[in-house]
């Protein structure tokens, strides 16, 4: 896929507590924060974001790393992973706490809700940012958190595989909101994806019960296109855009989840 100029988005800086990132905005309707994956806002991340806009939402897409619009390559991805590993904004091995950048993202969620109004805000994180939507539920306005192939903490041990990159305070609050407010978390992953291990979804099922809806794409459904262990990005790079395909069904479920929770 060629470079995407992203010239249909309005770009403006957002600053909180001395931290500034550009935010790409487009659309009308309830606010949804799209947190891009490694290596950045790729053309297929932008394509997914436009599908959220087309479904009737205002998207706020912060640029957290990488070059906006640049297509992914292996070297580009490895470089951005290395950058994240040494960045103060990301804590890639932290099991019982979220990355520092989630404080800035929470402020963005508050800002989006103050400006757009409505019932609340939605968010989707992908890969490195996958679990960030859990931390955003500390904001009362976060009503529709989606985790796509959540990859933090890096699964370097069985304990890291089970962890969800959320503080004890965050988990207590999340469980309370699911029990008292009917909050629900939507999660997506490929069955064979080792970077987003099944134990992570099992933890969310155990902790949240009916408050977690997990979608796991079967290996057999992608075997003709990808080696199952290589399939990772559910709604972007490894989406198979064919009617009725499980990845397309998962993408459509994200859109209907936002519709149900934010209208």
Q: What is the pLDDT of residues 87-101, one digit of tens each?
A: 889 999 999 999 999
- The mean pLDDT value for 24-30 works out to 98
> Which band of pLDDT confidence, cut at 50, 70 and 90, is reported for residue 1?
low
Non-local (6+) Cβ contacts of 32 within 8 A are: 52, 57, 58, 59, 60, 121, 122, 123, 124, 144, 258, 262
Give yes or no for a contact between 91 and 97, defined as CB atoms under 8 angstroms apart: yes
- The mean pLDDT value for 60-82 works out to 94
Nearest to 187 by CA among 173, 208, 157, 160: 208
Q: Which two tokens mark 165?
A: 């990159």
CA–CA distance, 158 with 255 (Å, rounded to integer): 32
Of 229 and 83, which is predicted with more confidence? Answer: 83
Non-local (6+) Cβ contacts of 161 within 8 A are: 155, 197, 199, 200
Compute the Cα dihedral for 138, 141, 143, 149 and give only its sign: negative
Nearest to 155 by CA among 140, 165, 146: 165
Q: In Å, what is the CA distance from 92 to each residue of 21, 96, 133, 160?
A: 20, 11, 15, 10
Reply yes or no on whether the pLDDT at 209 is more than 80. Answer: yes
Phi, psi dihedral angles at 197 (to 5 degrees): -70, 155
CA–CA distance, 55 with 51 (Å, rounded to integer): 6
Please provide the average confidence, as pLDDT, over all residues in the chain: 95
Confidence at residue 220, expressed as pLDDT on a 0 to 100 scale: 87
Compute the Cα dihedral for 204, 140, 255, 133 and give only its sign: negative
CA–CA distance, 155 with 173 (Å, rounded to integer): 25
DSSP helix/strand/coil, 195: coil
Confidence at residue 223, expressed as pLDDT on a 0 to 100 scale: 77
- The mean pLDDT value for 174-182 works out to 98
State pLDDT tens for residues 150-159.
999 999 999 9
Confidence at residue 222, expressed as pLDDT on a 0 to 100 scale: 85
Q: Which residue(s) pair with 23 in the sheet?
A: 12, 62
Reply yes or no on whether the pLDDT at 126 is more than 80. Answer: yes
Q: Which residue(s) pair with 212 in the sheet?
A: 185
Q: How many Å separate Cα 90 from the centre of its chain?
A: 15
Domain at 10-262, CATH homologous superfamily: Alpha/Beta hydrolase fold, catalytic domain (3.40.50.1820)
């Amino acid at each position: 896929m060629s470079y995407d100029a992203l010239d249909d988005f309005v770009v403006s800086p957002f600053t909180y507590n001395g931290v500034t990132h550009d935010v790409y905005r487009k659309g009308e309707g309830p606010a949804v924060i799209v947190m891009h994956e490694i290596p950045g806002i790729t053309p297929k991340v932008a394509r997914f974001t436009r599908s959220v806009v087309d479904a009737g939402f205002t998207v706020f897409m912060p640029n957290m790393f990488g070059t906006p619009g640049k297509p992914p390559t292996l070297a580009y991805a490895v470089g951005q992973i290395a950058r994240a590993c040494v960045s103060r904004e990301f804590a890639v091995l932290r099991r019982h706490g979220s990355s520092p950048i989630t404080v800035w993202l929470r402020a963005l969620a508050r800002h989006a809700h103050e400006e757009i109004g409505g019932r609340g805000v939605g968010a989707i994180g992908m890969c490195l940012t996958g679990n960030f939507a859990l931390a955003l539920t500390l904001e009362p306005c976060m009503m529709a958190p989606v985790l796509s192939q959540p990859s933090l903490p890096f699964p370097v041990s069985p304990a890291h595989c089970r962890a969800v990159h959320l503080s004890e305070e965050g988990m207590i609050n999340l469980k309370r909101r699911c029990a008292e407010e009917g909050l629900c978390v939507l999660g997506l992953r490929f069955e064979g994806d080792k970077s987003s291990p099944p134990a992570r979804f099992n933890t969310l099922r155990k902790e949240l019960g009916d408050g977690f809806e997990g979608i796991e794409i079967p290996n057999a459904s992608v075997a003709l296109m990808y080696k199952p262990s290589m399939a990772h990005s559910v709604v972007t790079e490894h989406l198979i855009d064919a009617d009725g395909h499980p990845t397309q069904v998962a993408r459509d479920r994200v859109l209907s989840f936002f519709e149900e929770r934010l209208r």
